[in-house]
Structure 1
């Protein structure tokens, strides 16, 4: 028996983002404190999923999306500074730690996952020396835990997710630029650049301005002259990269570390000991950073849900945001004549996640395209994706989809 789902498809009578005069897009890179929080808690979630499956045969209730990073304290100086007080990562929220006589060492898994992610992604942060871990994960509530024991997968919240396609030229270049700056090839050429990267793209008509912050590592910088020399080299590399990856912009400008002030000497440059501002300046928190497509796009509808760390079985704050993104991308790829599409999925707590309260698509079409044909094809794809949500959840639990 086929399931009847509440799917609506309508025309969006608005100017596509690419055609608007102004666009603002931000990305917080790998070593930004907020991205560290998101990435670490997501790593813990994925490792818990594997542990639950291995020892119980199913993914149990957990949400590790209340993580916090408390900045440490360092003394920065050219030639190499010191770490005075380590950073602290606090794991929060809920997770089942015992099931039918089987103990799950949630705290140990959390710390191990965090250390592994830090070791693989932050070159100069030693998780044994530079980070303190505090486990505040408690067992889940009976009502939410019960959702996992039901014959159908029920939503654990009433919430909405949103996704869109395609990315604009600005969004694409901002994303590509951060990935370039944190690539192994770039770090080999510019080892003095840390992983803490933040990019703000401001497009005015077809002119794009990139304001970029990169934490430089003090052990590689002998004095302020060396700092400005290497900073200029990075700017030139970025200018070459953006020229080679120009996506129809008439002009792209790059400004780097704009807080620098040569008159203030060593105090007027952006140096760090470990390559992240989390070492002594800025804390971080899950959900304050990039959305599930890796961007903070101010011209787009966004969910306030923190997807990172949420369980991939029943938590629609994760499932629907990632799935909406994937559905929008598939529709844009497979159906000709769509300029821009937004997909919204809204759940009802306790109801089957394959039957949302609403699944809605808003579409801007190319001139002369029949919307009636697009409407039916879009509804069909949305229905197929929801009907196959079990497969999607399995893939999500394996970490195959990025969430920050």
Structure 2
């Protein structure tokens, strides 16, 4: 098989890149080691920057997102028994975020890809990129007992932290930066109305809590927990009681409970691998970087990578210029590191660290107090939260 761009991974970044290329008339094939149902069964976050929303529209896959998504003009920071609203819309000159589940976004991209007839190969085992430092890269994979080969111009590695793309790069060519946080997030999904129409980020002596939602009838809640916590120790009643303890009274009283249908513990880490281009192989999204979910940047960073790579490929095929693909890694990493900084800052400000000293705690309290009394500080938080420009 021959195509122009071979994409490894059919998560949001691979599907988004594929549909943007398809709409632009650039041939592409997507491969994934698992099946469609498995991908759609993964539970992920869903706070979208305006840049991500615009890319969905550009890919012609944003109709349901606009009909069912929840535009948010702000969010609340809760601490010391009170909460303070961050007016995203007012502080950023009219920008907002969209709450729309990543699973639904993925479904929309899959459905639109099928309608356009673009090819996705699921259950492709042992996908491997080859010869990406030369002029004739290719992919091999196994399916139905047969080894297949796809020749291509470029390879986009959108296959996540554990995928084959970054593993194919010699370790000597990579520089890795990593920070592992000493806690995780215990999260549940329940079919109950959200406690508030906007997200609530809570700092409490017992630990962080987040009140989020997927729709007007489905809520997503998180609480900070130790890394060695066992999910079996957390029945629904215990979770709801702990969540209420960490919220201001008026929010705690508004929490509606019901049995959860998904419960998991996610560790928190910051990870960046540099560079993001190796010849004709480009790393995209979690294949190159991971951020803690506190700042809602993971999916949005993958989308900004797609923006830079797509525009570089457009320049290559339509303008016969390699300027965009040559600058891909530098441009993407510049935005990545700003988002890593913001996510680290939000995590540090909102969580209780087990090794924090009394001095550290006072600094955290002073930071929250300053943030909620300084328009300049609140504006900096807001502009990072809604997303820095591409």
Instruction: Normalising by structure 1, report the TM-score.
Output: 0.24
Higher Rg of the two aligned structures: 1
Instruction: Normalising by structure 2, report the TM-score.
Output: 0.25
Higher relative contact order (CA 8 A, sep 6+): 1
